[in-house]
Amino acid sequence: MSTKYRIATIPGDGIGKEVIPAGQRAVEAVAKRHGFTVEWDLFEWSCERFAETGRMMPKDGVAQVRDHDALYLGAVGFPGVPDHVSLWGLLIPLRRELDQYANVRPVRLLRGVHSPLAGRTADDIDFVVVRENVEGEYSEVGGRVYTGTDREMVVQEAVFTRHGVDRIMDFAFRLAEGRDRSHVTSATKSNGIVHTMPYWDERFEEAASRYPTVETAQFHIDILTAHFVLHPDWFDVVVASNLFGDILSDLGPAVAGSIGIAPAANINPERTFPSMFEPVHGSAPDIAGHGIANPIGAIWSAAMMLDHLGQGEAARELEVAIEASLEHEQTRTRDLGGSADTSDALEAVLGALV
């Protein structure tokens, strides 16, 4: 009997609704070749739903997806709903309640893609941003007092727990152990942020002592962003807090050609809960509905999902096909200097499956 996976599918908003069907078709194509099947359970949770019902997802939304093998999500956010309302109504509760504490965002300059950095080739840009995904600067702790008066005051607390910091450090070091370069860089800001970031550095140092074969480096986030541009070849695994990781994982794909191709995995490493796979890009309202969105970020995220589900060979095949599809200008989308629309780019990936 063939293996069957149940995937909770949440296209979300804007181009999420265009790239997720492309990812599903790519998965279906490799599933056939590798003898597994996929049942896609569709959850139409979005800003549109918010406008109709006042909620991005139902009250028991997390329970509805809890027993699936994985979640596959497009993008969250659309004009008309404040960004913090859409994010805290859907993406963040899913990540937190399913304890998807490791956000893994690979950054690779693929063959055929031009980096905006002069002279850089595929040999220079190949690293992974590991973003702490459930605490840190993204916190509900805080509030506003004296609203509307000249004494108005707003406080937002960052939350760094020993449990939370240690487990993301361990995840990053273990990932580095399995990579050729075995190197972890920590993103910090312990010169300016005087409590949480020195603590982050302390726990990084402590973690490093548990992984003696892994080399380490540490940079303040300001100069680290400069190094991403000037020396992307320095990096292998980069571990960062929630906010710093969010920023670095947009900058990384930008230096590797386009955020449109960047994949992400929100991982619950213990597999107590399903993990969630989503392109790094957002809903791109400016191009939504035109059929020109780049589907590669969603397809690559689907490949990460297959790898997580134990279909490593199918995942590799998809990744190879993605890279082959990007070699020609006609099959690259506009963000990559090409002329393809979403369906041309998808067909190119399907056609490149060998």
Q: Closer to ligand GGG at the Cβ: 108 or 281?
A: 281
Q: Cβ contacts of residue 58 below 8 Å, gap of 6+?
A: 45, 64
By CB under 6 A, name the one of 132, 278, 307, 323 that touches ligand GGG: 278
Shortest spacing between CB 225 and ligand GGG, in angstroms: 17
Are the CB atoms for 210 and 173 separated by under 8 Å?
yes
Crossing angle for the helix pair 296-308 and 16-34, to the nearest 10 degrees: 40
Shortest spacing between CB 68 and ligand GGG, in angstroms: 18
Are the CB atoms for 221 and 185 separated by under 8 Å?
no
Per rule CB under 6 A, count of chain residues that contact ligand GGG: 9
For residue 240, state whether it binds ligand GGG (rule: CB under 6 A): no
Shortest spacing between CB 246 and ligand GGG, in angstroms: 5
DSSP secondary structure, 157-203, as one string: --B--HHHHHHHHHHHHHHHHTSSS-EEEEEE-TTTSTTHHHHHHHH
Residue nearest to ligand GGG (CB): 75
Buried b (16+ CB within 10 A) or exposed e, 62-76: eeebeebbbbbbbbb
Q: Closer to ligand GGG at the Cβ: 211 or 228?
A: 228
Shortest spacing between CB 137 and ligand GGG, in angstroms: 10
Shortest spacing between CB 297 and ligand GGG, in angstroms: 8
CA 17/CA 46 separation, integer angstroms: 10
Shortest spacing between CB 133 and ligand GGG, in angstroms: 8
Q: Closer to ligand GGG at the Cβ: 86 or 216?
A: 86
Which residues from 282-311 bind ligand GGG, rule CB under 6 A? Answer: 282
Amino acid at 205: E
Shortest spacing between CB 238 and ligand GGG, in angstroms: 16
For residue 279, state whether it binds ligand GGG (rule: CB under 6 A): yes
What is the residue whose two structure tokens read 């541009």? 229
Identify the helix (H) or strand (E) that includes residue 265.
strand 263-267
x/- site string to ligand GGG, residues 57 to 86, per CB under 6 A? ------------------xxx---------
Q: Closer to ligand GGG at the Cβ: 105 or 112?
A: 105
Are the CB atoms for 127 and 237 separated by under 8 Å?
yes
Shortest spacing between CB 162 and ligand GGG, in angstroms: 23
- Of 64, 90, 112, 105, which is closest to residue 278 (Cα–Cα)? 105
Q: Closer to ligand GGG at the Cβ: 77 or 338?
A: 77
Which residues from 88-117 bind ligand GGG, rule CB under 6 A? Answer: none
Using the contact rule CB under 6 A, the part of the chain among 2-10, 222-230, 274-282, 310-318 near ligand GGG is 274-282
Question: According to DSSP H, which parts of the chain are helical?
Answer: 16-34, 47-53, 61-65, 83-86, 92-97, 162-177, 196-210, 221-230, 242-255, 296-308, 312-325, 342-351
Residues near ligand GGG (CB under 6 A): 75-77, 87, 246, 278-279, 281-282
